[in-house]
Amino acid sequence: MANLGFVGLGVMGGRIAKRLLDSGHAVTGYNRTRSKARWLLDAGMTWADSPKDVARACDVTFSMVSNTEALLAITGGENGVLAGLGPGKIYVDMSTVGPAASRELSALVADKGARMLDAPVSGSVATLDQGQLTFMVGGDIDVFERVKPILLDVGPKATHVGDNGLAVSMKVATNLSLAVHMLAFSEGLLLAEKSGIKRETAVEVLLNSVIASPMLKYRGPFVLDMPDEAWFDVNMMQKDMGLALELGRQVDVPLPTASVTNEYLTAARGMGLADQDFAVIFEVLARMSGVSEG
C-alpha cells in the first residue's frame, strides 16, 4: 500500500480520496476549507496544513481542483506542492485545465527531480460511487505503470494517451460532448412534451432508446428532479467548453455544436442558474419554449 497525498477534497476529489482509504492506502490530505474534509478525517485520513506538507510527506501526491488558476494556487508559492516535491516523488494532477499550463507545470516538477502525470477522469459522482470511474493519463510511460495500480483501486480503467498535457487535451475533447449531448436530449424531450407527451413518459422512452449514453442515463433524470448539490455546475462546464473552443482554434478544428451549446450555458448564467448542475440547460431551453415559468 502506497503512502499517498491528496490536495483538493471537493465533490469528486474527496470521494476519490475515500476510495483510496478504503483500498488500504495511507492518505494525507489538504483542502482549502478544512471543515469539508471532516468526513475523511473521521475515515482515517491524516490532515496536512498545506499542499507543501502533503507533497513532502507522501510518495505520490494527487490533486483535483476546479481550474488552471486554482491549480497554480496549490502548486506555486512557499506552501505549494512544488515546494514539497523532491527526487523520486510523483505528482499526479486530476484537474481539467489548459494543456499548455499542465505541460508547463510538468517541467517545473521535473526541475525538482520529481515526475508528473496529468490524469483527469471520465465520469461523475454516480460513476465514482459505482466504482466505474476511468482515467486518461499523460506523461512518462514508466511513471504511469508505477501509478496505474493505485488508479485501478479507484476505477476499472486507466489509459495512457501520450506525453504530458495530452490527457487533459483528451479530457477537454471528451467533456465538450457532455454538454452538447445534454442540449440535444433537451431538444428532443421538449419536442415530445410540446407535442402532447408527458415529460416523465418522454424521459423514460429516451433513456431506454438508442440515444441513451451512460451520461444521459444518470443525468437525464435531472430534468425531472435536480440534485440539491450540483455534480458538475454550469460554471465548471462552461470552463471546460472554453478550454475546448480555445484548443479548437489552436489546432484548427471547427467546433460548431460546442459553440452553440456554450451560448446556452451563458444563458443559464444570465438566468441565475450558474450553481445548478449543467443539466439545467434543459430549463434554459424550456423557458425559451414557453414550457417552464422559471
CATH of domain 170-288: 1.10.1040.10
Cell numbers given for 271 = 438566468
Region 49-71: mean pLDDT is 96
Region 78-98: mean pLDDT is 97
Residue with cell 478550454: 243
Mean pLDDT of the chain: 95
Give the predicted TM-score (pTM) of the model.
0.88
Q: State residue 96's pLDDT score.
A: 92
Region 262-277: mean pLDDT is 97
**CA triple 139-176-142, angle to 5 deg:** 10
Q: For the chain, what are the domain ranges? A: 3-163, 170-288
Q: State residue 226's pLDDT score.
A: 94
Percentage with pLDDT > 70 across the chain: 99
Q: Using the predicted structure, report yes or no on whether residue 267 has a pLDDT greater than 50.
A: yes
Q: State residue 124's pLDDT score.
A: 81
Instruction: Place 292 in a pLDDT band, splitting at 50, 70 and 90.
Output: low
CATH of domain 3-163: 3.40.50.720
| Given the residues 171, 194, 217, 239, the one annotated as active site | 171
Q: How many whole angstroms separate alpha carbon 253 and alpha carbon 128? A: 31
Give me the DSSP letters along 98-133: -HHHHHHHHHHHHHTT-EEEE--EE--HHHHHTT--
Q: State residue 1's pLDDT score.
A: 63
Q: How many whole angstroms separate alpha carbon 143 and alpha carbon 234? A: 34
Give me the DSSP letters along 227-288: -SS-SSBHHHHHHHHHHHHHHHHHHT---HHHHHHHHHHHHHHHTT-TTSBGGGHHHHHHHH
Q: Using the predicted structure, report yes or no on whether residue 294 has a pLDDT greater than 80.
A: no
Give tens-digit pLDDT for 156-177: 999 999 999 999 999 999 999 9
Cell numbers given for 46 = 491524516
Q: Using the predicted structure, report yes or no on whether residue 28 has a pLDDT greater than 60.
A: yes
Catalytic-residue membership of 36: no
Give tens-digit pLDDT for 97-135: 999 999 999 999 999 999 999 999 998 888 888 888 999
Q: Using the predicted structure, report yes or no on whether residue 265 has a pLDDT greater than 50.
A: yes
Q: How many whole angstroms separate alpha carbon 230 and alpha carbon 283? A: 15
